[in-house]
Structure 1
Amino acid sequence: MKTLNNHVILFDNECPICYAYTKAFVKIGMLSQSGREAYQEMPSNICPLVNHQKAADEIALVNTETGEVTYGIKSLFKIIAYAIPFFKPLFLFGPFVYVMQQLYAFISYNRKVIIPVAIKENSLQPTFKLRYRITFLLFTWSITAYILIDYAHLLTDFVTMGSNYREYLICGGQLFFQGIIISFYRKEKLWDYLGSMMTISFAGSLLLLPIIVLDKYFNFQPLFFLIYFLMIAGLMFLEHIRRSKLLKLGWLMSVTWALYRLIVLGLILILS
């Protein structure tokens, strides 16, 4: 594997994902030991070459010899193609590049709600792009509801199955319900909160998947499915509290988050 020398990749040190994969590049020898810096601590010799806001949006790779700067997925392609030339033709294939650019942007512009951390004062943040946040909300809503429909089959001893659209309505209803409340409470946090809330729902649904799969091979008791579901809901509530603190929202949004779920549960039991 060849090392791309005389290049520095500028990562976001407030982003655990960025920190991890750029460190991996150095560790496995794709970049030199000095080939990785946080853009928040950009070296003075590199600083004039880089568009600072663009580097915050999409990871920048700087050629310290020529001054050339690439951003986003092209930075990653450049590192990988140099280390493993076999991939170079793929990285020059237009349709593949376009798809990967969109996927990279989707993750990059939502990274602060996927894995939130405390934001340092006056630190440069990624540009907010509404289309990527709405796409993220629709993606997590649809996958979460789809998984919940499958898990609902395991809870029929306790609640009726209902229509296939019920879980979509419940997930979408919570977006609408919480969106209205935060619009009155802290409107400037609307999109950050909704993105963070749907990440919690998405993560919770993924934790249900192993049980859905294992149910095909093991004969679990119905009570097990209920207890596991309640345990996941409890973990989601704790994560909601943690993320609300990071967003400096206090307890209101966590209380209404739980209240909505209790109201829905009550309606399901009444209508069963």
Structure 2
Amino acid sequence: MKTLNNHTILYDEDCPLCKAYTSTFINTKMLDKEGRKPYCEITEHEREFIDVPRAANEIALVDTEKNEVIYGIDSLLKVIGFSFPLVEKVGNIKLVKFFLKRLYSFISYNRKVIMPSEKKEENSLECSPSFNLKYRLFYIVFGLIITVVTLFHFSDLITILPKSSYYREILLALGMLLSQYIFVLKEDHQTRINYMGNVITVSLFGCIALGQLLILNSLIELSQFIIIFGFSGTVALMFFEHKRRIRLLQLPTYLSWTWIGYRLVIGMIILNV
């Protein structure tokens, strides 16, 4: 790998994805050993030429010799493109770059609902993206679609359940969001939407687990015991993940019980239809 010297990438140290790919840049020698730095450690001198709010939304790459900064997908293309020029060339094609910018923004603006973190009081700067309603709603819709499709296919594996339909799963998924939204009406608008994003992330984590069971069942036919045990275990893990996020968001703990309560009530209704 060719090393891009005299450049430092500013990353969110509380974001596992940010830590992973910036660490990869260092380990593969795309950047030198001083080539990454936590956002919260921006100095007063660096604030003179770094757009600090923008750097929280779009990862910043600082040219430490010229005191010049590029942001977002441009910074990633520059680092990767220094070792793989073709990647940078293709990435800068107008249509490709349009898609990459939207994908980057989709992930960046939602990273704190994908992987929330505890606020560190000792940090004067916190690398939290601005609230972007458009990308948050895109994320919620995306998560709903994945949830509906996964549950539709998984429901067919549980023989004691009535035959599923997309209509039923859409109503259940929307009902889950609406029921939880009602319990946070006293919170401000941004907190409510952020919470909905976290609820969707918990559902997506569940979809990953159920998806593995679906794949395994396509290879070897699983018994009803294993399927129901796997489903129950997934719901339990989702419940504890929901509780963890409620604590990080500093929201009422009863939200975890209303979240599981909805599922229990709906489960009883479906079984008795």
Normalising by structure 1, report the TM-score: 0.95
For 2:165 and 2:15, how far apart are their aligned partners in 1? Answer: 40
Q: RMSD across aligned C-alpha pairs, in angstroms? A: 1.4
Gaps of 5+ in 1: none
Please give the residue correspondences for 1:239-258 in structure 2 after superposition, counting only pairs within 5 Å. Answer: 239-258=241-260
Give the alignment partner of residue 145 of structure 2, picking from 142, 150, 153. 142
For 1:234 and 1:212, how far apart are their aligned partners in 2? Answer: 18
In the TM superposition, what is the alpha-carbon distance from 1:270 to its structure 2 partner? 2.0
For 2:164 and 2:39, how far apart are their aligned partners in 1? Answer: 51
For 1:111 and 1:242, how far apart are their aligned partners in 2? Answer: 16
The aligned residue for residue 53 of structure 1 is 53
For 2:9 and 2:227, how far apart are their aligned partners in 1? Answer: 46
Please give the residue correspondences for 1:15-94 in structure 2 after superposition, counting only pairs within 5 Å. Answer: 15-94=15-94
Greater shift in the superposed pair: 48-57 or 37-46: 37-46
Per-residue CA distance 1:227-249 (angstroms, 9 max, x = gap): 11011000000101111111111
Normalising by structure 2, report the TM-score: 0.94
For 1:162 and 1:45, how far apart are their aligned partners in 2? Answer: 60
The aligned residue for residue 133 of structure 2 is 130
Say whether 1:198 aligns with 2:200: yes
The aligned residue for residue 8 of structure 2 is 8
Q: Secondary structure at the match of 2:185?
A: helix
Amino acid at match of 2:265: I
Contact 1:46 1:64 in 2 (8 A): no
Per-residue CA distance 1:8-57 (angstroms, 9 max, x = gap): 11111222211221111111101111111111101444331101000011
For 1:162 and 1:48, how far apart are their aligned partners in 2? Answer: 59
Per-residue CA distance 1:149-201 (angstroms, 9 max, x = gap): 1101101x211123222111111111111112111356552122111111010
Percent identity (aligned) = 37
Give the alignment partner of residue 234 of structure 1, picking from 233, 236, 248. 236
Q: Secondary structure at the match of 2:247?
A: helix
The aligned residue for residue 97 of structure 1 is 97
For 2:47 and 2:142, how far apart are their aligned partners in 1? Answer: 37
Say whether 1:154 aligns with 2:157: yes
The total of aligned residue pairs comes to: 270
Q: Secondary structure at the match of 2:206?
A: helix
